[in-house]
Amino acid sequence: MNSLTRAKASELAAAIKQGEVSAVEVAQAHLDRIAEVDGTAEAGVHAFLHVDAESALAAAAVVDQRRAEGDELGPLAGVPLALKDVIVTADMPTTAGSKILEGWRPPYDATITTRMREAGIVILGKTNLDEFAMGSSTENSAFGTTRNPWDLTRIPGGSGGGSAAALAAFEAPLAIGTDTGGSIRQPAAVTGTVGIKPTYGGVSRYGLIACASSLDQAGPCARTVLDAALLHTVIAGHDPLDSTSIAQPVPDVVGAARRGAEGDLTGLRVGVVKELGGEGYQAGVEARFNDAVALLSKLGAEVVEVSCPHFTYGLAAYYLILPSEVSSNLARFDAMRYGLRVGDDGSRSAEEVMSLTRGAGFGAEAKRRIMLGTYALSSGYYDAYYGQAQKVRTLIARDFEAAFAQVDVLVSPTTPTTAFPIGEKVDDPLAMYMNDLCTIPSNLAGNASASFPVGLADEDGLPVGLHVMAPVLADDRLYLVGAAVESAYAAQWGGTLLEQAPALEGIH
């Protein structure tokens, strides 16, 4: 494997800035790595749905030209990135993993796409996902399943499995994911990478194809905490094009990451969530989580148990609120405006064409959630289902408020289990939904949360994630804790978790 593809994003940016390597060389090394290991839906990692080598090399050449002209380069200029294919790009197709948008080229860039381009970040291509970001395994993509680089027979998490797998396979040092109920954090946990869900409204949703608008949040993904912090700084901040965007300064996440790397958490109060553990959690996951909690204490944090009683209702509330918003958001895919159109031969009505198109264009999980949401919002059931779920959402937010009055951050396992075999749960939606048990509460409440790698489960040798939750607009606390944990484990392991995985060298 080329040493450039194993380098951290911060190291690559520094080398480009100093003229030690060109941005074009860095981009080409990652494009070569993608060609080597990504393969197709039938074989390989299959992290990418679309790779645009020409545009990536052109963007890299611009960075090199700017450096030659003496321009001041940003902290991530010239660094390659994998972009989840639910973020619109004017120069590449955006499919949201669905047949109904196959081949669609948006007429504009998302705000975060624009900000990354302006920062000199080189977008390599678009990554695979569960259709319209609905799923926990990337098995719901219309374009084939992504595979976990740690074991190609297992899932890489979802919905953002493509972005996480690209990081773990060393195809890109940075990625963008979106998180509706855990779709950044759960893939990060099962691939041994870092995934951050910022405070809701902290990163613009303009140009993010909506799944559930009150839950969706884009965020940074990386192999190290500092790299994620640097990317967070690029994409975050108020956006007048997004009515839910928060007009507040971006927390100093880079400073927090640097302080955390010093390994001193003295004075930090950490709450272990009582309800997120026990029955149903894999023994190896709980063992690594307990090790991580002991490590936090060793680093100087004060660790206490905290009860958040309404978290146990989070899954049920989420799977009423999310489908209700899905049924509304996906109504726009009607064959009349853009995307797929089926049966328009002049003999059918608009209603018939719409029905045929949606039947052919949406996959089983999208249809399931549309139907569930439409039912929950229907006359006579709205108050009993959707209304009650929103009340539970309020109670969960109050649980967070009460907990954060006692502690600075909350922790739990990110997922109840490690990566499961492809196909194991695809026919059991309820078992699949359980993967988001720990991550859903933060989406319902809108607070910041993240997953950081904390070792391998004893049973299967697969990665385990530590889930850290912080109050609204306290995203910097995630990076403080994550960097401290990362630094301590790096001293034990001799590097990051991914750097200790020789099997990843042999992906083919």
Q: Measuring CA to CA, how many Å separate 16 from each of 19, 75, 231, 314, 494? A: 5, 10, 17, 46, 26
CA distance 49 to 102: 11
Asked if the structure places residue 352 within a domain, the reply is no
What percent of the chain clears pLDDT 90, i.e. is strictly above it?
Answer: 91
Is residue 118 in a domain?
Answer: yes
271 and 405 in contact (C-beta within 8 Å)? Answer: no
Q: Do strands 218-222 and 302-306 pair parallel, antiparallel, or not at all (unpaired)?
A: unpaired
SS3 284: helix
pLDDT digits (tens, 9 = 90+) for 30-73: 999 999 999 987 889 999 999 999 999 999 999 999 999 999 99
Q: Is residue 328 part of a domain?
A: no
CA distance linking residue 124 with residue 122, whole number of Å: 6
Find residue 466's DSSP bridge partners. 413, 452
Q: Tell me the pTM.
A: 0.97
pLDDT at res. 504: 60
Q: Is pLDDT of 223 > 90?
A: yes
Asked if residue 508 is part of any domain, the answer here is no
- Residue 26 domain boundaries: 3-311+394-499
What pLDDT does residue 469 have? 98
Q: How confident is the model over 6-21, as a mean pLDDT? A: 97
The per-residue pLDDT for 503 is 53
Amino acid 508: pLDDT: 40
Q: Give the pLDDT of residue 502.
A: 54
Q: Phi-psi bin for 243: left (phi > 0), alpha (psi -120 to 50), beta?
A: alpha
Question: Does residue 252 lie in a domain region?
Answer: yes
Token pair listed for 250: 């971006």
Q: CATH code at 107?
A: 3.90.1300.10
Tens-place pLDDT, residues 299-308: 999 999 999 9
Task: Enter the DSSP assignment of 434.
Answer: G
Question: Which residues participate in catalysis according to the annotation?
Answer: 84, 159, 183
Structurally, how many domains does the chain consist of? 1
> Quick check: is 384 in a domain?
no
Residue 319 lies in a domain: no
State the CB neighbour count (10 A cutoff) for residue 19. 10
Cβ neighbourhood burial of 421 (10 Å; 0-12, 13-18, 19+): exposed
CA dihedral sign, ordered 323, 324, 327, 328: negative
Query: Does 335 fall in a domain?
Result: no
Question: Confidence class of residue 113 from pLDDT cuts 50, 70 and 90?
Answer: very high
